[in-house]
Chains A and B, each alone.
Chain A
């Protein structure tokens, strides 16, 4: 009888102490704005991961897109509420350092994704390498045009880390192809309409354009529209791997798009945050390999974000 009781007690204890059903943690996820599909993908990924792992996610997005003071305020407000963990995309990787320090001071663990924050203590960083994505995508295009010709760069928003790195990647790729001439580098501010109008204007100055390196997909599509409108053709690449881009790659209009995948980062950010809370081992850093989506491999990217599965952490950890 005593033995049975002990056994029962032991079983009961194991069940109670078992970590496999640790749930209900609240993770606060911070993204930059409501309109960029990239961040929508991050949010979808974060929710998918949380669902898999039995946790809850609350989204914090500035009402004014990319507003530094607002994100600062949101962090200050959230620290009062004390979520279990925070997954953080800083609006600006330098200006939001005090916010991270505040979160640290409040004892809430922070996982940083997308833009690497310039300070503060982090559980981990998950990111893609904008520089390498820019580099690889540009190389893809430059090879495709045979290593010679005239090329334009459509820049994103001046001052953002993604833009600085991607454009740097473009420029470094150009250095590898000395027979390619860079005609101009003008800002489209990551906006489709603006890129379209800028492209139209540039097409007036330059009769021969063989390639366009656009720092994101909406601008790439804007450039394509401008080219179409004038019945001209050029090889165009974008970055984002958005649904629209994949469709255009499939139909052959867009040459390629660098995969800057918010979905995976959202997944991994939440997963790492939860593993950290549940005292499971976590990597310090996950840098996703740069992938260029082109006619050769677009099928994998055709599923809409909402239907994708979160990848396993083990597959992607680089250290």
Chain B
């Protein structure tokens, strides 16, 4: 059960169109402009102004009185947003619900909450646009309080909607700040109707009508003008002034009040609130101040919070009638909230008037929320009450499920608000907190302190301490310790502790693979990803998928790795749709692959994102991304930045003192950079320091395959070979490369094999053995072609480019065969990349030809010919249809439920207008999308 989904009153209240209010001033000139926006076919109406300018009132008035010249029928979908809607999945499901409420037709679109997490909104939006566009019904979609949405995927989806808007849909956004949508473009194209602060201010006439007619005052024209000036037409200010004036009967007194008010410099609402409150009875005053701590009000909650026995329902209804800034959230008079401004004022006054009461108010609210099943809100109030024991008890209850959903940020926010003693006194919470801290990259000594606090209670938390110590050891690359502790934990952990068990299994699988003797406990990573998904343990699922991707990448199945990284990335989001720090791992992999495919722009973006996220989690984790960025920079001739990246990586490696592998990786990168720069002295020095010559002449025994540190030797030998070739010692290099090739083959490292073939080609060429050079090059090309490797070719620079040109001429004279055709084509492609290399203009970047992402784009452009395009996910399913997999197996392959696959199938069949799997495949091939 996910705590954050327990938001009780929401569903009922969010689609509620505020009902017309008795005290509304008619604003025909504004309604006319709203009508005009529709008549002119504008796509978006934006109503942007600070709080208290009557945005919601205006739109609801417009909607309720019947839009336009009544000839046009329109259905209205209304969605009032709040802070929680920055979760894209939640936003999407509310959007659909509001549309379903409004439209007569059935919307057969998957609810994002049932789909795997990720960035599916654009696809879903495409389906929605098609559906709405195919209807004759005119629709108005109102998004109120849009400033509360901060999730980029939501903005992206709306921008997409605006770009592809069907003519029968009009969008209205009301917000306190301009939304991050392409407003300038819409403005320039005449697609935007805007009402802003200056438009929404009450004119002097409106102020007069409001004060004298609606609020029942009887003010002289001069007094009205004075109030309008003082408030600058701000409706909330005039409203508050009217409330203050309602208690004054004599005209003379009113004028005196207005004179005093307009003469004072105090902030308007401060001044007026005092007056307004003083006019209310004691119980009402107390009610207002004491309920100001609540985000939402309902009578039972208020009864529980307010001190003396008050009849909250009566007061709430009175407040609504008296216009005291309460906003009903439903039509049943059940849930309300205060106008935000008013609530701020009341809270501020509460702290001033009854500072000692604030804590007990929050405590009571917390108790009520527990009793009504909203633990998350209960925790927030308990923390606000500084009732740390209760808060800690509550957090302990839901920490496990919160952690399983990867909501480490929420957990950290809570545990940071708790005193350390409250955490340490609860071994279960203490351990969960330690996991959270470790996974969030907090300093290890804080994690150790938690472990030390839990140690005396180890019998109450069997297996948990070795489990965490195992991960700690794995982080510190003490792999033997990690595996031993993990095995111990697996024995001690109770079966029902799914969370910890899956962590331990992950450690065993991820690191145990390096050791043959651990094979008895190793679970294949794909099964582990499945376990992680099924148990809702995002952390394990993402890590397992990433590791699986790493393995595929190393073995040279780059496209498979790409889709696994993507899948991991899609999963690594929290409930708010924000990427988890964990997403840094798959982003690093994607950046590396994009660089391999020569899409430097995308590579840089992925790597930068990876660094930003990884550094929140565990700073040293970003080291690899810095090195990958350095490579990108030096091949783009930006040596200064490249060196800075390497230096940053070196600092990280030095600071992270538990292993030497990272220092070595930085040094290797530095040596390769020096090679590219022609700084051979530096390379020589490094090789000498590594004592490379001592083993360069020997063949590498199999022990080099298994011992981590020995495995690194082969990369040193590559650097040595390159240096030798540059120094004209090609024969020597060839000897080393010939000994190295079987090692690369044995260890299944295609990228290394390509590099060896290319170096051999260069070495042969130097010795004048041209045929052998071209044959080696052909081998490199053959290996590189299927998965689109480019990096080894880019690395070798100009000499290799010349050789490929020779190859082209040579092969032109040979007889063409099916075998050589793809290799020739690949050589052409590579030349077009290399010729324009350094710096490579992006338009002709290699990625445009080979990268799977652009493949998908090509496909989508074909799919556009379909009435309704297939989504990316449906394309995934379609590809599997052309196999022998059963529906269940397809679900497994895509990490989704059978139900979801079936729903995709239904959509695919209907979009392709076919009725069977066989027909679908045939048609898809026919129109060229398969």
Note whether A and B form a binding pair: no
Report which B residues bind A (CB closer than 8 A).
none
Report which A residues bind B (CB closer than 8 A).
none
